[in-house]
Structures are given as structure tokens and as C-alpha cells.
Structure 1
Amino acid sequence: MHYPHVVQQADVRRRYGTEIHMPEPGSKLGLAQAAACGIIPISGLRHPPSGDMSGWYVWSGDYSEDSEFFQPLHVSHAVSDEMVFAHYLALPPGWRFLIGADGYEDVWYDASLLATESL
């Protein structure tokens, strides 16, 4: 799979001291419609990959437990469509990000995301 955001992904890795952990080719992420439209703020978190899911869930605004909140999207489409969050997708499981207005960015590790028994 070709990732056009390799430079930005490498920059994220350097700034936060992580390894690049690309999602598997053909894997999917859970994407809320507002995030697909680029509505700020955008939040994302990565659980361990499972089946054909990369572990990524990305949304805008308030999180919802509604079963229809996230729609599956192939990671390759998120990257090829140059969605604003694409260069964070190489972060390993256990990482979160928040993108806000005026270039605001927060990226942090959350070990609770690695607990797979709740998935």
C-alpha cells in the first residue's frame, strides 16, 4: 500500500518517540461522518488490530456509543483522500490524538487502549 503521508508520519514518530506502526494493507478504521468531513476538533484512538480492523477509531466533536456512529472505511481511502488525520495513522496501538483549530495538536499514549477484553 502506498502512503503519501510518509514524511508527516515520520515527523509524528520523531516528535513523540514512537515506532511507525502502519495499519495492515486492506485493513479498516471506524470513522464518524463529521470527521470524514474534516470538522474540528478531530479525535482518534488506536486499539490493537483485530481481524480486518486496524484498531483506529476517528470522530469529531462528542463521542457517541450509538452503533451507527462509526462507519468502516479502508485505511487506504483515508490516506488517498488526504484526510486531515491521515498522518497519525502510523502511530502504534495505545496512542490517541486530538486535532484542534489553529494547528492545535495533542498526541499521547493511553495504556488502557491495549486492554482487548472490552473490544
Structure 2
Amino acid sequence: MENQEIGELKKHIKLQKLICKKYNSDFTSIDEKLFIGVSSNLELEPLNGLRHPKHGKMNGWYIWSGEWSDEDDFFIPLCLEHLIELKPKIAKYLGLDVGFRFLTDKKGYEDVWFDQNITELR
């Protein structure tokens, strides 16, 4: 890992810990080797995210824009690096613990909350 990448990683972790503190969440690091479920419509607003327990090759995060869909192909697996390239502003939320959700938009709206139901899904 190059110095610039290490610096970016430290910056993201610092912001993640601040968000966790702000919203009373434990900091839970993200396994960069696992995938994030991402909708193909990330250009829409608002941007939503929720963190399930990790399972298989998925790290538990699911990110989507616009309205939720129950279609089987709504989420595609994406690595952390590519997600941050597409949507760098959401990196600060990715340290939130299992059960947390976020909603944000380009105008600066931010809502973060804990949803117990997410922790109970199997």
C-alpha cells in the first residue's frame, strides 16, 4: 500500500469513528476483501445504506438510490474501492455497526438511525 492510500484510509477511518460517536454506534471496520451490495441506479436520490451481519462473500452493507426494489438483480456485488470511487461521500458511514442505516442526499441532508430488525434478519 502506498503512502497516499494509507493516508486516505486513515482519513476515512477517522471520519467513520466521528460518525459512530455522533450516532452512538460502535465502530465496526469493514473487511475490504468482502463485497458490498450496490444498486445499479446510484445516480438517483436519496442515497440509502444499511448494514446486515456479514455473510458469505458480502460484508453486510447494502447501498441503493431512489426506491427499494425486491427484484433479484437489484443489488450487484461491488468492492469497497470501486464504491468509494463512485460515491466518496458515503465512506464516512461505513464504520457504523450492524443494524445501522443512513439516508443522505446531495443537498447535505443526513439521517442515521439504528434498526433492530436488521440485526434479526437471517
TM-score normalised to structure 1 length:
0.85
The verdict on how the C-alpha distance between 1:82 and 1:11 changes in structure 2, with shifts beyond 3 A counting, is: farther
Partner of 1:97: 102
Return the index of the structure with the highest Cα Rg. Answer: 2
Partner of 2:39: 32
Partner of 1:10: 17
How many residues are aligned here? Answer: 114
Q: Does 1:110 align with 2:76?
A: no
Q: Does 1:46 align with 2:89?
A: no
Give SS of 1:23's match.
Answer: coil
Identity %, equivalent residues: 35
Amino acid of the residue matched to residue 75 of structure 1? L
Gap runs ≥5 in structure 1: none
Give SS of 1:56's match.
Answer: strand
Q: Does 1:62 align with 2:59?
A: no
Structure 2 CA distance for aligned equivalents of residues 92 and 14 of structure 1: 11
Gap runs ≥5 in structure 2: none
Provide Cα deviations, 1:19-72, integer angstroms capped at 9, x if missing partner.
21012130111101222x4x3200111110012211111101100011111110
Kept in 2, the 8 Å contact 1:26–1:76? The answer is no
RMSD (Å) for aligned C-alpha atoms: 1.8
Structure 1 CA distance for aligned equivalents of residues 45 and 13 of structure 2: 23
The verdict on how the C-alpha distance between 1:99 and 1:57 changes in structure 2, with shifts beyond 3 A counting, is: same
TM-score normalised to structure 2 length:
0.83
Structure 2 CA distance for aligned equivalents of residues 13 and 63 of structure 1: 25
